[in-house]
Amino acid sequence: MDTNDQKLPRLPDSPTPRLLRSRALLHSDETDRIIAAGIEVHRALGPGFLEQIYEEALALELEARGIPFERQKAVRVRYRGQSVGLYRLDFAVNSKVVLEIKAVEVIHEVHLAVTLAYMKATSLPVGLIMNFAEPTRRVRRVGREGSAMNGESGKRGVGEALNEGPA
């Protein structure tokens, strides 16, 4: 080993060394672990199934890796203090990342817009869109301006997460 190599800072070991290794990205350790779980699911199943199949498999993989998540998390959308609707996230991971699962030919801008809306409504600063329909699984990282990419806190969203357990 060259003596100059010893002076370089080492990144922590990661299951996904080639993925998002920049420490400048907010929650990159968490997103690396989520992406690694998605890679494993894609390797095992390949493309061609419906989103629900990948969602179920990814839930099993996240659980096996000890990554905390909420699946089909209910979020109420408010306007002027009034509830105007309810929607469900595919996953809220570790109370930090919105994870949307897709099984489509290509990720379109509308998928980005929906993920950004989910992030705004939940005040979660980072989003991932995973598309399992392509021969090589594709991930798109999503950040809100002023929050996800530079580590600053985002403003309060327009939604609230619902606790579905006993009141």
pLDDT of residue 100: 96
Evaluate whether 164 touches 158 at the Cβ level (below 8 Å). Answer: no
Phi and psi torsions of 153, nearest 5°: -75, 135
Full strand arrangement of the beta sheet holding 97-102: 138-143, 126-131, 97-102, 82-93, 69-79, 159-161
Least confident span in 18-22, 28-32, 124-128: 18-22
Write the pLDDT tens digit of every residue in 91-134. 999 999 999 999 999 999 999 999 999 998 899 989 999 999 98
Q: Which of 115, 124, 108 is nearest to 156 (CA)?
A: 124
User: How far is residue 67 CA from its own chain's centroid?
Assistant: 12
CA–CA separation, 7 vs 119, rounded Å?
Answer: 39
pLDDT of 145 above 80: no
- At 27 the three-state DSSP class reads coil
Which comes out higher in pLDDT, residue 125 or 20?
Answer: 125
CA–CA separation, 58 vs 50, rounded Å?
Answer: 13
Phi and psi torsions of 94, nearest 5°: 55, 30
Residue 137: Cβ within 10 Å count = 20
- At 60 the three-state DSSP class reads helix
Average pLDDT over residues 146-166: 36
Q: How many residues does the chain have?
A: 167
pLDDT of residue 152: 32
Share of the chain above pLDDT 90, in %: 52
Write the pLDDT tens digit of every residue in 56-85. 999 999 999 999 999 999 998 889 999 999
